[in-house]
Structure 1
Amino acid sequence: MPCYIRRLTPDGLQPVNYEADSLAEAAQYEPDNGVYTVANSFNKTQVLKIDAHLDRLEDSARRANIPLQLDRQHLRSALRQMILEANFGDVRFRVTVSAQSPGTFILSIEPFAPPNTALIEQGVRCITAPNSARESAETKSTHWMHARKALQEAMPSDIYDTFLLDVNGYIMEGLGANFYAIFKDELRTANSGVLQGISRQIVLEVAPAIIHVNAKAVHKTQISRFTEAFLTSSSRGIIPVVEIDGIIIGDGKPGPNTLALRDAYQRWVHTHLEEL
């Protein structure tokens, strides 16, 4: 099923001059010097923390010196119209704005299904990439959307994500996700040098009732001592990580804290949905 793509101008939705089968394929047609956000819908036209996504889009634009002109209601109405027209059911959508046209948005949507239950029940295997941490990581830029393609293509087929290491070997984030480790009975996650993910906001809200939180990055040399690990993104929620660089985490299965956090996360999500 193809991706459904439109430009949103002050005058409304307009067609684009290209086609794509997915958000990933559509990315090649989007500008290198812009900012974006990605989220998904629930129950067809409900969304989660949409204002937080748009807050971050505005913040990314400020950091990139893009004079973003954002009419939130106009954007929400357009997204809702596209979701209803496409009739995909639940969708994953991307909102992109370029430095050249800060008053025009590229809206792209594709059918969405939540992560396969096997990913949650079995966990995923990941690797690290040395000295790969992003500059200006707090900005969700289209430049990174294009630049990360080389790292994505370099991953073996059985590897789910690559974690970016800073110059000193600390684990920062994934290619499109935040990273967390449970280490010395604490939930550890980098607090700076990473994108402040929307799903990360939820994790940090629900986690203190389950485990002590220490917003400090962990080092690659500590991987063998992690008892649990996971990653998060808006479209996937919490995904357990059971192996990094060939090192088994804990007993090689999603751990009790990770699963408790995921349950709390899912409960939070379903009590905070709103209509577009």
Structure 2
Amino acid sequence: MSPCHIRKLTAQGLAPVDYTAESLAEAAQYEPHAGVYTVTNTFNTFQVLKFDAHLDRLEDSARQAHIPLQLDRPKLRQALHLMIREAGFGDVRFRVTVPADDPETFILSLEPFKPLSPELIASGVRCQTSAVIRSNPEAKTTDWMHDRTSIEAALPPGVYTALLVDEQGTILEGINSNFYAVLRRELRTAGAGVLPGIAQQIVFEVAPAILPVNREAVTVTQISSLNEAFITSSSRGVLPVVAINDIQIGEGRPGPYTMSIRHAYLAWMDTHLEDL
């Protein structure tokens, strides 16, 4: 079996697709440029975190894209459960895609889930800014899923991901993550012009007990002044950033605020997992 398990969910149930792929990233090339999607992962094989929040955002993205989505959540959950059992991967990372031209058919793709290594968390990652602007950042649309591949391909060796900046130099978000910076004992992140992240919802729950949160983004001119930085996404959780554009952040290693937020995030997650 291909490492990526893919099916269509139609009104009649699950059906095969006419392609195979080794990963979600490879499978994306066969998916439509017009549509909406969401990506997350399972824990303990059949448990999920804030899955209804993912589906809420999927519905909101469809509204923004003028896609008449009618979402049967129990049916979708049942189909995913069956596919996870069929695949036998254990924990999976999966994508739900709704094509604009056929919103009654969902494309369900899953691959084995590989959590971040302890070494990557301990060392942190390097990022690079990009001036590419998303046409509608507040909707999770498939055109961006395709467009960002060229940004990823152009990243130099050793750079983990790109951070999007606007014409004023404001650091908005990662290409598939939210971005945060600690500046003068305050957590800063963009409050507009970005995709509302599901992992970000958890950060906003736990971070205020650790330091004040200010939803005003930092700029590229402030990179050298940042004390700490990190990105979040559903599959990564909290991932420290130690350099941007080859400029060291703080002491060049994951900072105490970042790691406190990461530990609080994991504790929150442990008490909020639910069955798929």
User: What is the TM-score of this pair, normalised by structure 1?
Assistant: 0.99
RMSD: 0.6
Matched residue type, 1:110: E
Q: 1:211-230 CA deviation, whole Å, 9 max, x = no partner?
A: 00000111100000000000
SS of the residue aligned with 1:168? coil
Structure 1 residue 113, shift from structure 2 partner: 1.8
Match of 2:238 in 1: 238
Match of 1:37 in 2: 38
CA distance in 2, matches of 1:50, 1:150: 29
SS of the residue aligned with 1:207? helix
CA distance in 2, matches of 1:228, 1:133: 25
CA distance in 1, matches of 2:251, 2:128: 18
Unaligned runs of at least 5 residues, structure 1: none
Match of 1:61 in 2: 62
Unaligned runs of at least 5 residues, structure 2: none
CA distance in 1, matches of 2:95, 2:6: 10
Answer yes or no: is 1:78 the counterpart of 2:79.
Answer: yes
SS of the residue aligned with 2:254? coil
Structure 1 residue 81, shift from structure 2 partner: 0.5
CA distance in 2, matches of 1:74, 1:272: 22
Q: 1:74-124 CA deviation, whole Å, 9 max, x = no partner?
A: 000000000011000000000000111111100000000210111110100
Aligned length: 275
Match of 2:204 in 1: 204
SS of the residue aligned with 2:122? helix
SS of the residue aligned with 1:232? strand
Match of 1:247 in 2: 247
Match of 1:267 in 2: 267
SS of the residue aligned with 2:201? helix
Structure 1 residue 2, shift from structure 2 partner: 1.7
Is the 1:127–1:161 contact (alpha carbons within 8 Å) kept by the matching residues of 2?
yes
Q: 1:115-147 CA deviation, whole Å, 9 max, x = no partner?
A: 0111110100111013x2312100000000000
Matched residue type, 1:100: D
User: What is the TM-score of this pair, normalised by structure 2?
Assistant: 0.99
Matched residue type, 1:105: F
Structure 1 residue 185, shift from structure 2 partner: 1.1
Q: 1:51-90 CA deviation, whole Å, 9 max, x = no partner?
A: 0000000000000000001100000000000001100000
Structure 1 residue 267, shift from structure 2 partner: 0.4
SS of the residue aligned with 1:148? helix
Structure 1 residue 275, shift from structure 2 partner: 0.5
Matched residue type, 1:103: E
Task: Map 1:1-276; keep pairs closer than 5 Å.
Answer: 2-130=3-131, 132-276=132-276
Structure 1 residue 157, shift from structure 2 partner: 2.1
CA distance in 1, matches of 2:141, 2:222: 30
CA distance in 2, matches of 1:203, 1:128: 23
SS of the residue aligned with 1:146? helix
CA distance in 2, matches of 1:135, 1:201: 23
CA distance in 1, matches of 2:168, 2:240: 25
Q: 1:187-236 CA deviation, whole Å, 9 max, x = no partner?
A: 00001100000000000110000000000111100000000000000000
